[in-house]
Amino acid sequence: MLSALEKYDPQIYELITQEQARQSGALMLIPSENYVSQAVKQASGSCLTNKYAEGYPNKRYYEGNQVTDLIETIAIERAKKIFKADHANVQPYSGSVANLVAYNALIKPGDTIMGLNLSSGGHLTHGSSGSITSKIFKAVNYDVDFKTGYLDYDAIADLAKKHKPNLIISGLTAYPRQIDFSKFNEIAKSVGAFHLSDIAHIAGLVVAGLHQSPVPYADIVSTTTHKTLRGPRGGMLLCKKEYAEKIDKAIMPGQQGGPHMHTITAIAVALAEADTEEFILYAGQILKNAKRLAEKLMEYGFDLVSGGTDNHLMLIDLRNKGVPGKKAAKALDRARVVTNFNTIPGDPAPPLSPNGIRIGTPAVTTRGMKEEQMDRIAGFIKTVIENVDDESVIEKVNREVLMLTSQFPVPDHFMLPGRIKKHPLTETN
Ligand code: DSN
């Protein structure tokens, strides 16, 4: 494929090559990023990108969907199996779309939604002031306890009683602790609200049994497919049987036209990869690495929100180091340590210049890095932050990172041992 690209569009070919080199020579610590397998990449770049398939398997508005019907059915069945869900829809283009679809399926414009504040680790689509979700709906936000950094379920229950939301969202993009979805469900039900759980960040941990699953509790569960789940960039919805038709209709014709069949094909592959012993070990190592990285950073005097992590990510409050988050993230990037600047709970600084950075371990774990390498990464972060204005020190770290990453090549061709079993659907057809 690349040779054709090289021939016809050398400029784009060259840029892809540069990006490949960047990804390979850097420590990708953004907790929402990961590396997909060659099998997922191949499915994503396949001829399925050519096909329109509006509708659902065996109920399409276009002809020629004999193969896409089988592929989408396999993806749905694999999703239902690994998440133990009654119903799955694999068509949402992204996590943001999936959340909007869930709102549209359950509530109406003008209703009240209640989600985690962006600055406390929530997502834009959980009712943030800049998001259309706060324009269509009345948005109420809960925060983490600013002193402990943890969710305070009593305070959330009180807020729910006060505002009587129609829908409560549980879920995170920058909360470093486990979430008790059963408690969220109790709170939602006590005020007659629907419960949407957004597990975009932790889907892989949920599948591996390393985080409580919201599937038995929430009315609808939304997720992306490309973070800890390690699939292509996409979205997915899971729900109880009673909401199946509502969800399907809210996606098509409610919000989307033709599904991206190449993405759904790659999602199917990723879901099978996640249904293996190797994936469970991978998810376990993500957590071990995160814990070790957090411990080492704290040893170096870094202030971690909530005093550590019990998932794949952590938030560093940089105020005691006297370095703003953006300045820190830019300096780290020059040293090939890629993070993102992030608000910390109750951050007095604006979101474009916050006091924190967010880091996580899913991508470096995919490269095979373990606790020993986490110690080195913590050392890189310490050196850069303590020498944030010294380009010669940053350049030295840059070279050390390059040496470390060369020992853990991007698993561009990593394959799981053995082959994914043939699905009975294609055996009988
Ligand atoms: N952009 C994602 C993240 O980085 O967490 C959330 O959508």
Binding site membership of 246 for ligand 1 (Cβ less than 6 Å)? no
Ligand 1: which residue has its CA nearest to atom 1?
32
* pLDDT confidence of residue 13: 92
Instruction: Return the structure tokens found at 320.
Output: 């005691």
Closest CA to 168 of 188, 186, 151: 188
Residue 311 clears pLDDT 50, i.e. is over it: yes
For residue 171, the CA-to-ligand 1 centroid distance in Å is 12
Instruction: Judge whether residue 415 has pLDDT over 60.
Output: no
Residue 322 neighbours by CB distance under 10 Å: 8
Q: What's the pLDDT band for 68 if we cut at 50, 70, 90?
A: very high
Write out pLDDT tens, residues 322-336: 999 999 999 999 999
| Cβ atoms of 193 and 165 closer than 8 Å | yes
pLDDT at position 421, please? 67
Judged on CB neighbours under 10 Å (0-12, 13-18, 19+), 275 is middle
Distance CA 72, CA 248 (A): 13
What's the pLDDT score for residue 428?
47
What are the residues facing 356 on neighbouring strands? 317, 342
* Pocket lining: 122 vs ligand 1, CB cutoff 6 Å: no
Ligand 1 in contact with 78 (CB < 6 A)? Answer: no
Whose CA is closest to 170, among 211, 129, 225? Answer: 211
Is residue 359 within 8 A of residue 33, CB to CB? The reply is no
Whole-model pTM? 0.95
71/120 Cα distance (integer angstroms): 39
Domains by residue range for the chain, with CATH: 23-35+277-406 (3.90.1150.10), 42-274 (3.40.640.10)
pLDDT classification of 132: cutoffs 50, 70, 90: very high
Q: Would you please indicate which residues are annotated as catalytic (active-site) residues?
A: 52, 54, 198, 224, 227, 233
User: Are the C-beta atoms of 28 and 365 separated by less than 8 Å?
Assistant: no
pLDDT of residue 410: 86
Q: Using CA atoms, how far apart are residues 226 and 340, in angstroms rounded to an integer?
A: 17
Ligand 1 near 123 CB (within 6 A): yes
Q: Is 241 left (phi over 0), alpha (psi -120 to 50) or beta?
A: alpha
User: Would strands 194-198 and 220-224 be described as parallel, antiparallel, or unpaired?
Assistant: parallel
